[in-house]
Structure 1
Amino acid sequence: MKYIIALIAIAAGSLLIMKTEWFFENFGSSSWAEQHGIPTRSLYKFVGIAIILLALLGVSGILGSVILSIFAPLFGRLQ
């Protein structure tokens, strides 16, 4: 099941990267991105790349340990 979800996520991320102009025309610009000096089209591409990376990390089994290593200091040592 995780392979199917990963393939769907990779396809969605690829679509977001390849059809950035279509997403920009239909969903408009992001005022938050523009205020912080990031063009909206670049933000759409970054989101697509992030979706692809998260899907690849999830299917390889590394995502859990990455999330744990990032958020473990917030909750103290897990035993």
Structure 2
Amino acid sequence: MMSSAQEGERECHIVVLTDDDIVDWERDNPPPMGEEYSQILYSTKLYRFFKYIENRNVAKALLKERGLKNIRIGI
């Protein structure tokens, strides 16, 4: 998210997968999600964190405090 914000992007789409996930697409060419700039992260810890709604709400509140708007975090 930081790199997108520093480049002046207004939207950031991140896909979080576990370290052990195997995907059927090329790492540099994920399937289209309707947005041209999607980032893929392999992090089991981050995946487990966002798995719970309480953690998503805390993350959303923190991002709003830092000035971000229209935040959607989904599974």
**Larger fraction in helix:** 1
Relative to the length of structure 1, the TM-score reads: 0.30
Q: Which has the larger radius of gyration?
A: 1
**Larger fraction in strand:** 2
Higher relative contact order (CA 8 A, sep 6+): 1
Relative to the length of structure 2, the TM-score reads: 0.31
